[in-house]
Structure 1
Amino acid sequence: MKLMELLNNTTYKVLQGEADINVTDIVQDSRKVKPGDVFVCIKGSNMDGHDLIPDVLKAGVTALVVEKEIEVPIGITVILVKNTRNALAHMSCAYFDHPAKKLKTIGITGTKGKTTTTYMVKHILEQSGIKTGLIGTIEVLIGEDKISSVNTTPESYTLQKYLKQMVDAGCEAVVMEVSSQGLMLDRVAGIEYDYGVFTNISPDHIGPNEHSSYEEYMYYKSLLFRQCKTGIINIDDDNYENIIKDHTCKIESFGLSGKADLRATNLVLYRKDSILGIRFHVEGTMNFEVKLNMPGEFNVHNALCAIAICKHFNIQIKDIIQSFETIKVKGRLEVYNTNQPYSVIIDYAHNEVSLKELLSTLKDYNPKRLVCLFGCGGNRSKLRRYEMGKVSAQLADLTIVTSDNPRFEEPADIIADIVSSVEKEKGNYISIEDRREAIRYCIENAIPGDIIVLAGKGHELYQEIKGEKFTMDEREILKNVFEQLK
């Protein structure tokens, strides 16, 4: 492909050579360079691509895209741009023939709820016959193919590659999580979303190599609404006006507020055997009853958000209702059907805020006992151990302290830190280092009416110990325990 065709939507200056040359591929990772490629010099937090130019020249690159003037041998084309990340995104769009324009694109941003909502949307659309791709924190789904995620929002070249694969696989739509990092680092530049969605916002991702302040975090979230045709906003969030400030799209709203275009009323929690859920009425721009087999009021917001999106696809109400009765999101308040008179929940909660929200939500179901099993990751802040121990001691009737991803720390040392906090709060607890045995203990000692929470692992299918990842799927552990108990 001609380099100048890749640069069509980028302002640039040719410092050396010419843009009317053929290039075989676009590369930002110096280890993947092949003869004939164009190398885009990205300045990252740990490494500057400009420093790797000698290496990529040896590998046979044809052209370089840079942010500053450089000296290289005659015969190498050098393109100067203001922002190489932005240039990479637009070049990648062109390289893969603008796949986003061939799909209905849904971008969801927010601190919480992105993952759950993307799966809800995909489930509803596909149940209605609309083949839909998904890009998010857990995985990328393209037809039957599942690809593990590295970033919530992939780097721009990888993102465009996935979108092209979705088009080739016959997808009509894509729903994706759009992180603040993805917006800040131009990973989604060049895409005009059909629907941009805001779930909620709270302080997060603030610190070195992320965002310098809450205000900056909020600003980058808001950029999605200058990059979409229709914005769908949670009006219940206190910061929704800041999120839509300077928006360039049509705005619609959802929430529990009477001001919302689409709203939920008459919320009723329900519990049947091991299943926890919530019923509510949808009114405003649509009118029907929903039975959601997922617990918690915040899942009402997620469901409303999904409905607000899917109504643009002319989905029949009966199909939406049926979809919500069967939806399950891996590791996000995932109800494991035990066929017993007690409930087991698998959730990714791995910090104080998320664990507190999880346990508070489940207490509303008035369990006989709320049993919380969790550990903490090694080689991470010790403060998290004390905070989570405190929360569990305060809200759970019994805390099972176990191992999570100990990494290069000794599991017993991590457990001791957690236990010290639980004891300080005078919480009931036992400690079982082996997570499999801890889960077995929970099931063997469950009593009718219990709600048992397995917190921290969620969608993860491994346990990281001494630099090695060992297979661990809590669903398989539960299955084995129940089979043995029979």
Structure 2
Amino acid sequence: MKLSKLVGAAKELAVQIPPIVDVNVTGIEMNSKKIEQGYLFIAIPGFMHDGHDFIEDAIQRGAAAIIGEKAVNLSVPYIQVTDSRTAAARLASAFYGFPARKHKLIGITGTNGKTTTSYMLRHILSEAGYSCSLLGTVAYIINGEHKKSSHTTPDPIKLQKLLADSKDEFVIMEVSSHALDQARIEGIEFDVGIFTNLRHDHLDYHHTMENYFRTKASMFMKHLKKDGHAVVNQLDEWGVRLSNLLEMEQRKIFTVGKSVYNHIQLGCIHISEKSSIQLYHSNKKYTLNLSFPGLHNGYNAALAYAAAKTIGIGDETIIQALESFKGVPGRFEVYSHPAGATFVVDYAHTQDAVEYCLKSAKQLGAKHISHIYGFRGGRDPSKRKHIVEASAGMSDSFILTFDDLNGINGDVMINELEQLAAHYGMGKGKVISDRTVAISEAWQNAKAGEWVFITGKGPERYKEMFSIPARSDQEMIETLLMDQSFSLQDATADFQ
């Protein structure tokens, strides 16, 4: 594509557009190491590195033109803009032929439940005969092919390329608050937007819950089509606030909650080895029997049901699809221990997500509840005490361990974990820094009727090197299951 034509997509962001040597642009990149001959390099002022420092490297690698925010003189065409992040999204969209326009787009945002709701909704669409791509935390699924996920919401250039590659009619996207704040979805408009909830998270980035909420709300205020539907969970105050904002804008809202005024009204949710959920819609009562437990999964199913209704899918198809849905990797993933205990791997990393998990175990008759989890270095430390308090209040014992240190000194993290366990742990907790050793100890000591939750990472791979050569919580459990040396001596004794 000619540079002059491409630049038109972001001309209002240009400080000025100089006379352009009309080169042919063969690709777009924000990483100078990925530049090839004829590429356009966009310099982004990042949080760790400034892309402007890599302009010369990009030119040496063959960049035909540069976009950036600083005033510089270069040997190749350079266009200065006021916001290179927004420019990157708009230029990528233009370069790939505005691919969002060829799909029906569903965006899902919120603190918890995005992944499970997206997988549920994709399953419903597939059962209804639609092809559907999915972009989220666990994987990017394009044309039925699974690709490894790099971010919950990919960077704008990768996002536009994935949309261009997709031949599916629908695309479901998990939309993170970081993606919204960093203009990754600039220029994209959703046919359906789903709000799951808002909980204490990412305040290291957003600083206050109000800022966090405003960022999440921007998906609906700026990126929902004028005739699009907003599906909103009103089980928390933030969902009610979002609904009020959207009503002022006279937008189409479809609400889920426990009030008679909600479009989808939640009735009884019965938790056993499966979950039975009662829904009321248009004066009709429906019962959903999910194949996996969890109060939170009942809420996710209700949101998926509501979204499918706005698309026009029939009740019978939705219910049959939800009842045949088998779950999501790393979301309440259950493993049976040889002694009769139950191990659960879950992504839960906020207070309410942890509470939902542990509450589900109580409802399922757990005789003893153990919890293994840690905190990532460099992330929001203000939520940690709340999670430890919640775990101590609902479990019989817990182990604090390492997650991803992200450059934080291990001794510093151990000291913090020990202080948290001592101050908030009610005498129930201890620290084992090696995550694989912590899981192994829980496995060796597990007894019949015990539930052991390993939370915080779900399907994510470890960044740290641990004693046992497993690369994820799932892989660690599978390693223990295959270990024939495991002894059942004393482990089969039930809890009295």
TM-score (ref. length: structure 2): 0.83
Instruction: Identify which of 258, 262, 266 aligns with 1:256.
Output: 258
- The worse-fitting range, judged by mean Cα deviation, of 152-161 and 450-459 is 450-459
Aligned residue in 2 for 1:164: 164
Alpha carbons of 1:364 and 1:261: their partners in 2 closer, same or farther (altered >3 Å)? same
1:72 positional shift: 2.7
Aligned residue in 1 for 2:151: 151
1:54 correspondence with 2:52? no
Listed one character per residue, the Cα deviations across residues 348-382 of structure 1 (whole Å, up to 9, x for unaligned) are 23455543443244334442222223345567788
Alpha carbons of 1:92 and 1:300: their partners in 2 closer, same or farther (altered >3 Å)? same
1:55-454 mapped onto 2 (5 Å cutoff): 55-73=57-75, 76-167=76-167, 171-207=168-204, 210-225=205-220, 226-228=222-224, 229-244=228-243, 245=245, 247=249, 249-270=251-272, 275-284=273-282, 287-325=285-323, 326-336=325-335, 342-350=341-349, 354-376=353-375, 389-400=388-399, 404-405=403-404, 418=417, 422=421, 425-428=425-428, 435=435, 438-439=438-439, 442-443=442-443, 445-454=445-454
Alpha carbons of 1:8 and 1:283: their partners in 2 closer, same or farther (altered >3 Å)? same
CA distance in 2, matches of 1:263, 1:284: 10
Alpha carbons of 1:481 and 1:172: their partners in 2 closer, same or farther (altered >3 Å)? farther
CA distance in 2, matches of 1:340, 1:405: 30
What percentage of aligned pairs have identical amino acids? 31
Is contact 1:96-1:161 (8 Å) kept?
yes
Q: What secondary structure sits across from 1:201 in the alignment?
A: coil
CA distance in 2, matches of 1:280, 1:65: 54
CA distance in 2, matches of 1:285, 1:70: 65
Stretches of structure 2 that go unaligned for 5 or more consecutive residues are: 489-496
Listed one character per residue, the Cα deviations across residues 221-258 of structure 1 (whole Å, up to 9, x for unaligned) are 11111311221111232123543526474222122222
- The worse-fitting range, judged by mean Cα deviation, of 103-112 and 141-150 is 141-150
CA distance in 2, matches of 1:381, 1:307: 33
CA distance in 2, matches of 1:265, 1:384: 31
Is contact 2:115-2:137 (8 Å) kept?
yes
Alpha carbons of 1:338 and 1:308: their partners in 2 closer, same or farther (altered >3 Å)? farther
Q: What secondary structure sits across from 1:324 in the alignment?
A: helix
CA distance in 1, matches of 2:432, 2:68: 54
Is contact 2:437-2:468 (8 Å) kept?
no
CA distance in 2, matches of 1:236, 1:115: 18
1:13-32 mapped onto 2 (5 Å cutoff): 15-18=17-20, 20-32=22-34
1:194 positional shift: 1.0
Is contact 2:133-2:144 (8 Å) kept?
no
Is contact 1:332-1:458 (8 Å) kept?
yes
Q: What secondary structure sits across from 2:201 in the alignment?
A: coil
Q: What secondary structure sits across from 1:85 in the alignment?
A: helix
1:7 correspondence with 2:20? no
Stretches of structure 1 that go unaligned for 5 or more consecutive residues are: none
CA distance in 2, matches of 1:352, 1:81: 41
Is contact 2:275-2:295 (8 Å) kept?
no
CA distance in 1, matches of 2:79, 2:379: 42
Amino acid at match of 1:330: P
TM-score (ref. length: structure 1): 0.84
Aligned residues: 475
1:453 positional shift: 1.6
- The worse-fitting range, judged by mean Cα deviation, of 214-223 and 432-441 is 432-441
Listed one character per residue, the Cα deviations across residues 77-136 of structure 1 (whole Å, up to 9, x for unaligned) are 333433222121111112112222122111011111111111111122223332211111
C-alpha RMSD of matched pairs (Å):
3.5
1:158 positional shift: 0.5
Alpha carbons of 1:385 and 1:264: their partners in 2 closer, same or farther (altered >3 Å)? closer
Amino acid at match of 1:2: K
Q: What secondary structure sits across from 2:235 in the alignment?
A: coil
Aligned residue in 1 for 2:492: none
CA distance in 2, matches of 1:416, 1:55: 42
CA distance in 1, matches of 2:392, 2:123: 37
Listed one character per residue, the Cα deviations across residues 414-435 of structure 1 (whole Å, up to 9, x for unaligned) are 6686466556655456776765
CA distance in 1, matches of 2:82, 2:202: 26
Is contact 2:434-2:467 (8 Å) kept?
no
Amino acid at match of 2:194: V
Q: What secondary structure sits across from 1:60 in the alignment?
A: coil
Amino acid at match of 1:194: D
Amino acid at match of 2:126: E
